[in-house]
């Protein structure tokens, strides 16, 4: 296990993420989240600040600075009102992207400030009036196809972000977005920070992936680990074949 005191934080991030190899038309995507030892990212009431340590949060900001874009779902925006910028370390803030099929992003949300560009991926059926309001608030609204559940289609959304110039994409949640991307095999690298906390009942980091046998579980290869304060950060590459 390496120590962040021996190398720079940027070097640690580069080592953990490996060498991005984007697929044609898609961004290289890293799923990054912090959880307790028993796999929780928030309490039953939704409280998640802070599971990770200050040292780990600096690391998360360094990962943000390493990527062209950062993606979250509308649930995260409504629950946490995140800023999604780089503040704890030197570096530029990534383009902020939101999966929001019904355009529920509040016009007062912090992700709509001028600290970094913001792209909202929505569906062709979303309100035109809400789209105009969010554009006036500073967002670029991109309409893509719906999936069979009426939500923003993941593949067309990712392709839209790649066409927008995002070659690398960090996904910070929430559970629904992380689960959908892992289940659809659009994740190229997984980075999980384990905090020495046991919560018991709470919000799980990843939902149902359709695994019914242990042999079908998602396994990671090309593993790297690093200690960030009291937290242990694991990084690995999913061993499943990636969609063409």
- 3 is a domain residue: no
CATH number for the domain that contains residue 187 = 3.40.430.10
CA distance 144 to 154: 9
Model confidence at 243: pLDDT above 80: no
pLDDT, tens digit, for every residue of 185-212? 999 999 999 999 898 888 888 888 888 8
Q: How confident is the model at residue 17 (pLDDT cuts 50, 70, 90)?
A: confident
pTM: 0.87
39-59 pLDDT, tens digit per residue, is: 888 877 776 778 889 998 999
Average pLDDT over residues 79-107: 93
Does any domain span residue 44?
A: yes
Q: Tell me the residue range of the domain where 145 lies.
A: 29-209+216-238
Q: How confident is the model at residue 182 (pLDDT cuts 50, 70, 90)?
A: very high
pLDDT of residue 213: 85
């Amino acid at each position: 296990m390496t120590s962040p005191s021996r190398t720079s934080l940027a070097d640690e991030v580069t080592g953990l993420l490996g060498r991005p190899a984007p697929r044609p038309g898609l961004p290289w995507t890293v799923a990054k989240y912090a959880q307790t030892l028993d796999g929780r990212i928030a309490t039953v009431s939704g409280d998640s600040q802070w599971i990770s340590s200050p040292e780990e949060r600096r690391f998360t900001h360094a990962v943000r600075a390493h990527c062209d874009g950062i993606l979250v779902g509308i649930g995260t925006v409504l629950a946490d009102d995140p800023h999604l910028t780089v503040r704890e370390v030197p570096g530029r803030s990534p383009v902020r992207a939101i999966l929001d099929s019904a355009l529920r992003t509040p016009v007062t949300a912090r992700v709509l400030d001028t600290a970094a560009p913001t792209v909202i991926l929505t569906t062709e059926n979303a309100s035109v009036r809400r789209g105009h309001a969010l554009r006036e608030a500073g967002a670029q609204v991109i309409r893509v196809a719906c999936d069979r559940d009426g939500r923003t289609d993941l593949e067309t959304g990712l392709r839209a972000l790649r066409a927008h110039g995002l070659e690398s994409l960090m996904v910070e949640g929430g559970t629904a977005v992380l689960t959908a991307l892992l289940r659809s095999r659009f994740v190229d690298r997984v980075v999980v920070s384990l905090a020495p906390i046991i919560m018991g009942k709470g919000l799980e980091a990843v939902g149902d992936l359709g695994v019914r046998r242990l042999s079908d579980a998602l396994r990671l290869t090309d593993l790297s680990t690093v200690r960030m304060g009291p937290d242990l950060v694991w990084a690995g590459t999913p061993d499943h074949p990636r969609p063409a």
